[in-house]
Amino acid sequence: MQQSMAIQHLLDEFERLPGIGPKSAQRIVYWILNGSKESAESLANAIIDVKGMVHFCPVCFNYAEGDLCSICNDDRRDRSTICVVCEPKDITSIERTHEYNGLYHVLGGAISPMDGVAPDDLNITELIGRLSDDTVKEVIMATNPNVEGETTAIYIAKLIKPLGVKVTRLASGLPVGGDLEYADEITLGRAIEARREV
Amino acid sequence: MQQSMAIQHLLDEFERLPGIGPKSAQRIVYWILNGSKESAESLANAIIDVKGMVHFCPVCFNYAEGDLCSICNDDRRDRSTICVVCEPKDITSIERTHEYNGLYHVLGGAISPMDGVAPDDLNITELIGRLSDDTVKEVIMATNPNVEGETTAIYIAKLIKPLGVKVTRLASGLPVGGDLEYADEITLGRAIEARREV
């Protein structure tokens, strides 16, 4: 062991992070060692703050700092539409498109018998609760386009439809800017099935 | 701004790190949000500790936690050889080979008029000081094989040779496991020049 204990410990801590291998961890640790004490403290404090200040929004289960999350709290959002996603990070992806101005509902996962995730483990009751008055006209199922996501979307759609609320699903098809040659056969099959007149 | 302030701040902090882009930062931040408070605190404390506990070894300028660095402090190291490197991280690379058992000396950079780094900015005087008694028999110049590294190696070699200490340089040539086809012409040229009888 030629490495200092504190350096080795920090290397180990960074290597635990997703997408960080030994080489990246080393680069980051040497960057911290070369940088100012303030810069290191700023990073450390930001990590502590995020765990102390962030909790789940009691309405939509997005990450929130105040009582409600910034989206539920925003009067300019269209309250007649709820977009249902698996994880809070999916909200970030959808917000980045600037195509959606409604509310969200985070399930906290997808139904997956293989991983032991049953409908009761997800925030589905809370979603149904949000449809009790007549405010919401449409629920967009934006779960992932894989087996678990599809299962979850179908399961929830069956619960919602009797309430007279429209349920839609994100379109499947070819990625924009993609190449037919590189499309997998299931995606291409979906794109043919869902073809539209031009 | 849909993102919580604390999350956005942590995203910004991670994006400042070398090799971390917006996508990697997002992955790490959500990993921290999903993880335990202890896990986040452990990372934050390791960052604070490394800045508080690590300083430069007064002999070789490697990172150290005690009085001397772990290598200068190790009685099993061969004290007749000093390997001169630009940065402490180069020591890690050389230690990983398990081919070297001597001491080190960290210059703290390389001579580079373009970047305003003059010989006086490097720990060269301290290196010469270590050669004053007859303990050291060989100095290995392990600066980077680029213009700045070569310049630095030649500059220091000229200072050391009159002291009667042997000065050597890491060999340049084809990377092991490499392919002639992908070798750049300078490396290949060096390999031809330094060819050895088999």
Whether the Cβ atoms of residue A61 and residue A82 lie closer than 8 Å to each other: no
Q: Quick one: which H or E segment has residue B23?
A: helix B22-34
Q: Hey, are the CB atoms on A51 and B63 less than 8 Å from each other?
A: no
Asked if A1 and B70 come within 8 Å (Cβ–Cβ), the reply is yes
Cβ atoms A148, A112 nearer than 8 A: yes
For B19, the closest chain A residue by CA position comes to A24
| Chain A CB within 8 Å of residue B40 CB | yes
Of A1, A39, A44, nearest to B44 by CB-CB distance is A44
DSSP one-letter code for A75? T
Task: List, in sequence order, the alpha helices (H) in chain A.
Answer: 5-15, 22-34, 37-53, 88-97, 124-129, 147-160, 185-193
Q: What are phi and psi of B117, to 5 degrees?
A: -100, 110
Whole-angstrom Cα distance, residue A28 to residue A38?
A: 16
Residue A3, pLDDT score: 60
More confident residue, B70 or B171: B70
User: What proportions of chain A, in percent to the nearest 5, are helix, strand and coil?
Assistant: 45, 15, 40
* Averages of pLDDT over each 10 residues, chain A, 198 residues: 77 94 92 93 94 93 92 94 93 88 95 93 96 92 90 94 91 78 80 76
Which CATH class for the A5-53 domain? Answer: mainly alpha
Q: Do B87 and A9 touch (CB under 8 A)?
A: no
**Contact (Cβ atoms closer than 8 angstroms) between residue A47 and residue B40:** yes
Residue B3 pLDDT:
60
The answer to whether ipTM exceeds 0.95 is no
Counting other chains too, the contacts that B69-78 makes at CB distance below 8 Å and 24 or more residues apart are: B69/A4, B70/A1, B70/A2, B70/A3, B70/A4, B71/A2, B71/B103, B71/B104, B72/B103, B76/B101, B77/B101, B77/B102, B77/B103, B78/B102, B78/B103
Which tens digits make up the pLDDT trace of B171-198?
888 787 777 777 788 888 877 877 777 7
Backbone phi and psi for residue A158, each to the nearest 5 degrees, phi listed first: -65, -35
Q: Residue B2 and residue A44: Cβ atoms within 8 Å? A: no
Tell me the average pLDDT across B22-44: 93
Contacts of A75 (CB under 8 A, 6+ apart): none
pLDDT mean over B102-106: 96
Report yes or no: A89 at the B interface, CB cutoff 8 Å: yes
pLDDT at position A1, please? 41
Q: Which long-range contacts (C-beta less than 8 Å, at least 24 apart) are formed by A125-134?
A: A126/A61, A127/A82, A127/A84, A127/A156, A127/A160, A128/A159, A128/A160, A128/A163, A130/A59, A130/A82, A130/A105, A131/A82, A131/A160, A131/A163, A131/A165
Domain spans in chain A, listed from the N-terminal domain onward: 5-53, 73-169
Q: What is the structure's pLDDT at B180?
A: 77
Name the architecture of domain B73-169.
Answer: 3-Layer(aba) Sandwich (3.40)
pLDDT, position B1: 41
Strands B63-64 and B55-56: antiparallel
Residues B2, B7, B9: CA angle, nearest 5 degrees: 105
CA distance A13 to B40: 10
On average, the pLDDT of chain B sits at 90
Q: Which of A6, A18, A28 shows the shortest C-beta gap to B54?
A: A6
